[in-house]
Structure 1
């Protein structure tokens, strides 16, 4: 406890409070973002998640009272009391986030656990105090979201989690407190207002969201600083935008990374890889990426190739490239202890590995046997590791898959006292563990960017807040269970809310044996997940789209083709992700906050703002209830118009995933293709669903960073309903990419127009079923569909 407040000093946007037993700092980052900081271990923030933070100009007023200090911005009021108790209110003085006025009081756990444990029952430990704790009052009717990939439902109220990156291949269930990622960030939604808290601490942290006592929630840490950011909305989209302003946003990826991806442990030797590739092409199933797992390496030595399985890596990748496939290879952090192996020798010579407390390189065991761990907390090591990516790039590899980087270890966990250089602030494993994968991803990203001059594709299993700047993620070693398919939806939604716009699961499940029904239902979800990768484990049954029967293959083909059709829409969502930090998969409450019916929907989601997906997530089920929020919605498959703010029942046989399009939507689509680059993307078709609405469509070269220099096109379409016609204004807001579309098609869905005019001149149309299609040049135009 810091004790009584003695005085405070203001320095521009920073307020430094002196208490009897220490110092506390309030810093105004913007009108809606406030940092609360107590320098316990370090005098400065020393953040791994926040880089190059820019303070925004804010309106700041202050007032000293006898028992408190009030700091007021345009959006929030911060009240500071003795013991550095900090409360937050909105501008109307409605409470948002208040410190709890009392001590923790866990509910009583009764009985002797030893007798239960004797039978093998796992019992929960008593809740213990922590070195750093912030306890917040539960005001009532809170909903909590975020925390990255944690198991359980969408709303995290009543859950307890720990942030400690953990490689646990057992079936993930709702009681898991730790998994591969540590994202110490959550969003609170209450009384139609939202705020977020980011606890910027890399030590093991703890979050109890009312599990031990419904009167409060808390977050805590074993060590480090008390350092958290309060991020006010009031909308959820504002909170996500504020959080990603702090920690960074998912950069625009190369378009091929959004195509379908096929992976297995393992596709080797190269003849097996070509067998997979040829099957995709001859079966007319689109695919852009094939992964190589650990068996492509020479004895599991990273940055090597097994020359018996892949005798000429560059010729191998060149042949796949000619077939339209990119190759992504796994790279783990564990470096084989093997004198004469160049990566090991360089690491030893230069002191690049983590050490024990006596300075001796620390050795554990992973796939190659005895292995050492690069110290990614040292900038010299990150540069060295980034340079190693050239080995893979020169072999024709297009992306890197970072795995086992929790870090995983087969001889028990790394001891707490393993030493890391930490860029001039030497520390131990307790502080670096949660950011080990984050720093590895950063080094990998920088290497790929340097040697390709293209947008890097990095996929990582372990990460921390801010890793979204460098890597996409997947949810680790799931199982081929319907329960894991069900769990995937809230897990991915919370990852998106936690800043990770580019995320996915192993489609079909990694461990166990998939079934035709499970793969069919999972690929229907995968079609709408940002990362669309089918991945399965060694010694499980084959899981490729054709591995079961003709019906299952046809369902896979149908939804993979739908994914490619929607690629320009998905690419637009990634443009939004870089601009605003918004996720691709969104919980319904993100856009319908005023509707409490959306707050705990675990089994449906929005794909962007215009498409609602309500997949079947249970075995044997062929119909489901779907909640449609306010407005009108079109059934994607039948064209039926339905009014929202109600539940509808949708029949969904095995080949149907319920999909609904918001009235007024304009959805860009591409023609059929087997892979990105097969055809010239010189034409786009906009599917128009009757209503009032507008849409921004983004176009660039889909692979380089030239768009940052203005080489992109931005189109705007505005749809307005009139009595006798539907009017569409097509305009170009920015023209910087010269190899843009040669023609644009507008498809009015489910309506046969009497006539169509462009700039008041009647033009020829095409009719496909009930759809009316018109073609125009990509220039400012006014299109009228007379109905």
Structure 2
């Protein structure tokens, strides 16, 4: 990174590319003060900001690598910058500052990707993205009926930018990356042609820049910065993880699926802790230990499954229900976050109340890792679990570390991931036990071995259906999250919106070409078709699991590559074809490793799919064997059972890919 003074300020370039120019005539750094209004309702947020000051810092004074900024000559400096390596460090010289804006020069045809796990838009150019972990919303489309009704009922409709996992990091098509080191509410605004504007509701610690000659090397560098996951557990390659929440009946249903030819690696029963009924649907009883009434003799059942090569998985989150047996123990020890009066903070989670375990309290974090995850889960026989609800830290609680909950809110998923990872490591099961999370922020990569896409609607909708999990995998994968998967068939069923057989089969087709296949019954299991309720669906699903197992040798090589280099399993087309700009905006298809191109069908009643094939390779359609040259769009037949999948003719695994049509 090169720093130079100019006639009225300074400029910074990275490998010859201008990344910041600031001076009196054209300031790029602004500071000020704002008064925000934030209201949380069950993980959904209403956020407004009233800007009381936004001042350009036009006057620059430079001493060595230290830059002092003020509004005008003779005025006291309000902000100090220090340049070292590829980092800009910030120091506030004015305690009233709680807003900072900085403009990064942009090219008119530039593309930008990242922002954590984005669901609606992979290429973020042209839009504004607030970065705040929350429920992603139902429908996530202000023009849709389901979003309107969800907003009216529970403020839960969401918008295109809402995400469980934001991260203030982006990658530019100019082959550089920018990361803002802060946990404060922030905004990436990519709407201007000439610059990108970054807004932070605090003075950030620093802004980091990365550059590399190729996108692959840039992704490798970011994965080193944020953390890499271990290889997938060996047991995962045996088939799908079947999600059932039917109490003891789950075991009989699993057996019938196996008889139907379904390849199974795990049984996931989130209701292992018991359930309660609410207006939203069946909810779990948040008291993290086996429920003997719903699952009598569960430890013995788990051992029987293990003998058959099938693992058992459960569910946990960072909250304890007030009517559970663990709540009094945690409260007596002082493990909960407090309210403004110093009492245990109680949070309404939708017709039941809970306490928030305070992970900034080291003793509380250690207790949860050891007593709940370690003793009641791992020692009980669980091989994995959904680690849910990391985005729910209320912003009005008092925490043990004394930091404002508004500043801890984004960081909370990372603390939650660390608690889970610490428990797994304490039993020597890192890389063996598999927990998965939907919430995240900077650094979650270091602790969480697997992401899942959250609670999609059970439909083909553009902003909340099947297609959104592709965007989620691609955006998060660029930032060091190598493994991503989703609830097969979606999760959220509200206002009469129910999944169809077609949706369930199309989702399974996509899942067969992801790192992990896992089904979910959804929030209203009785209203929605399940894998084992329709012979056609079950037969189709069984075949998709056989395809997944058939691809295991290839997936294992991708897993090794992820652990060694940080490359994601699901990759944007441009990662391997960066000199083909037509690949840059594609978000409804992906490379499964370097050799397979997958373009899932994400519209209802669609039996043909047009796919762009990157130039520089010859591609073979898996089901027909027809070959196509790259650099063109082709239309392939895509009936149910034959999702658009093509492989490079020169692929090392060409024989395995070619024999997929025989399954």
Pairwise TM-score range, normalised by the shorter structure: 0.7 to 0.9
Matched with 1:393 is: 378
**What's the TM-score, normalizing by structure 1?**
0.67
Please tell me whether the aligned partners of residues 550 and 656 of structure 2 are also in contact (alpha carbons under 8 angstroms). Answer: no
Which segments of 5 or more consecutive residues in structure 1 lack a partner in the other structure?
1-75, 106-122, 409-413, 668-685, 690-748, 751-767, 771-787
Aligned residue pairs, count: 564
Q: Report whether the alignment pairs 1:427 with 2:403.
A: yes
Please tell me whether the aligned partners of residues 273 and 287 of structure 2 are also in contact (alpha carbons under 8 angstroms). Answer: no
Please tell me whether the aligned partners of residues 228 and 563 of structure 2 are also in contact (alpha carbons under 8 angstroms). Answer: yes
Matching of residues 214-233 of structure 1 within 5 Å: 214-233=193-212
Cα distance in 2 for residues equivalent to 1:295 and 1:453: 21
Matched with 2:477 is: 496
Q: CA deviation at 1:195?
A: 0.9
Instruction: Pick one of 265, 275, 281 that aligns with 1:288.
Output: 265
Matched with 2:89 is: none
Please tell me whether the aligned partners of residues 259 and 532 of structure 1 are also in contact (alpha carbons under 8 angstroms). Answer: no
Please tell me whether the aligned partners of residues 503 and 530 of structure 1 are also in contact (alpha carbons under 8 angstroms). Answer: yes
Matching of residues 329-728 of structure 1 within 5 Å: 329-337=314-322, 341=325, 343-366=326-349, 369-388=352-371, 389=373, 390-407=375-392, 414-416=394-396, 418-422=397-401, 426-455=402-431, 456-471=433-448, 472-483=450-461, 484-512=465-493, 513-540=498-525, 541-550=527-536, 552-629=537-614, 630-667=616-653, 687=655
Please tell me whether the aligned partners of residues 632 and 644 of structure 1 are also in contact (alpha carbons under 8 angstroms). Answer: yes
Cα distance in 2 for residues equivalent to 1:769 and 1:329: 35
Q: CA deviation at 1:188?
A: 0.6
Please tell me whether the aligned partners of residues 231 and 239 of structure 1 are also in contact (alpha carbons under 8 angstroms). Answer: yes
Please tell me whether the aligned partners of residues 476 and 505 of structure 1 are also in contact (alpha carbons under 8 angstroms). Answer: yes
Please tell me whether the aligned partners of residues 480 and 509 of structure 1 are also in contact (alpha carbons under 8 angstroms). Answer: yes
Please tell me whether the aligned partners of residues 298 and 305 of structure 1 are also in contact (alpha carbons under 8 angstroms). Answer: no
Q: CA deviation at 1:367?
A: 6.6
Q: CA deviation at 1:383?
A: 1.7
- Point out which structure has higher relative CO (alpha carbons under 8 A, 6+ apart): 2
Any idea what the Cα deviations from partners look like across 1:287-314, whole Å, max 9, x if unmatched?
1122222463387243222221122221
Any idea what the Cα deviations from partners look like across 1:670-727, whole Å, max 9, x if unmatched?
xxxxxxxxxxxxxxxx8379xxxxxxxxxxxxxxxxxxxxxxxxxxxxxxxxxxxxxx
Cα distance in 1 for residues equivalent to 2:6 and 2:376: 57
Cα distance in 2 for residues equivalent to 1:124 and 1:360: 26
Provide the secondary structure at the position in 2 that maps to 1:657: coil
Any idea what the Cα deviations from partners look like across 1:564-607, whole Å, max 9, x if unmatched?
11112112111111111111101110111111111111222110
Q: Report whether the alignment pairs 1:279 with 2:256.
A: yes
Please tell me whether the aligned partners of residues 520 and 555 of structure 1 are also in contact (alpha carbons under 8 angstroms). Answer: yes
Q: CA RMSD in A?
A: 3.0
Q: CA deviation at 1:543?
A: 4.2
Matched with 2:64 is: none
Matched with 1:302 is: 287
Instruction: Pick one of 220, 241, 255 that aligns with 1:241.
Output: 220
Cα distance in 2 for residues equivalent to 1:458 and 1:82: 55
Provide the secondary structure at the position in 1 that maps to 2:364: helix
Provide the secondary structure at the position in 1 that maps to 2:470: helix
Segment of structure 1 superposing worse, 641-650 or 76-85: 76-85
Segment of structure 1 superposing worse, 465-474 or 280-289: 465-474
Q: Which has the larger radius of gyration?
A: 1
Instruction: Quickly say closer, same or farther: Cα 1:94–1:332, change in 2 above 3 A.
Output: closer
Please tell me whether the aligned partners of residues 262 and 535 of structure 1 are also in contact (alpha carbons under 8 angstroms). Answer: no
Cα distance in 1 for residues equivalent to 2:638 and 2:208: 44
Q: CA deviation at 1:364?
A: 1.5
Cα distance in 1 for residues equivalent to 2:322 and 2:47: 39
Provide the secondary structure at the position in 1 that maps to 2:129: strand
Cα distance in 2 for residues equivalent to 1:375 and 1:603: 39
Matched with 2:189 is: 208
Segment of structure 1 superposing worse, 603-612 or 372-381: 372-381
Instruction: Pick one of 179, 187, 191 that aligns with 1:198.
Output: 179
Matched with 1:166 is: 134
Instruction: Quickly say closer, same or farther: Cα 1:415–1:469, change in 2 above 3 A.
Output: closer
Matched with 1:189 is: 173
Cα distance in 1 for residues equivalent to 2:661 and 2:645: 20
Cα distance in 1 for residues equivalent to 2:9 and 2:472: 35
Provide the secondary structure at the position in 1 that maps to 2:138: coil
Which segments of 5 or more consecutive residues in structure 2 lack a partner in the other structure?
31-45, 55-97, 143-158, 277-284
Any idea what the Cα deviations from partners look like across 1:598-632, whole Å, max 9, x if unmatched?
11112221100011112222111111222111221
Cα distance in 1 for residues equivalent to 2:100 and 2:594: 39
